[in-house]
Amino acid sequence: MACSVSTLSPPFFSLLLILLSPSFAAAAGNFNSDVDIVWGDGRGKIVNNGQLLTLSLDKSSGSGFQSKNQYLFGRIDLQIKLVSGNSAGTVTAYYLSSQGETHDEIDFEFLGNLTGDPYIVHTNVYTQGKGNREMQFYLWFDPTIDFHTYSILWNPSHIVFFVDGTPIREFKNLAANKGVPYPNNQAMRLYSSLWDAEDWATRGGLVKTDWSQAPFMAEFRNLNADGCVQGTLASSSCGSKAWMNQALDAESLKKMKWVQSNYMVYNYCSDVKRFPQGLPPECSAK
Secondary structure in 3-state letters for 9-58: CCCCCCCCCCCCCCCCCCCCCCHHHHEEEEECCCCCEEEHHHCEEEEEEC
Three-class DSSP category at 124? strand
User: What number of helices (H) and strands (E) belong to the chain?
Assistant: 4, 14
Contact between 82 and 95 under an 8 Å Cβ cutoff? The reply is no
**How far is residue 243's CA from residue 109's CA, in Å, rounded to a whole number?**
23
Contact 33, 65 (CB under 8 A): no
Element (H, E) at 261: helix 250-262
**Set 101, 105, 134, 282: catalytic member:** 105
Among residues 109, 134, 198, 282, the one annotated as catalytic is: 109
**Residue 109 appears among annotated catalytic residues:** yes
d(CA 21, CA 209): 34
Task: Provide CB contacts within 8 A for 258, sequence distance 6+.
Answer: 20
CB 178 within 8 A of CB 282: yes
DSSP H or E segment with residue 118: none
CA atoms of 33 and 46, how far apart (whole Å): 11
Q: Classify residue 274 as left (phi > 0), alpha (psi -120 to 50) or beta.
A: alpha
User: What pairs with residue 50 in β-bridges?
Assistant: none
Positions marked catalytic: 105, 109
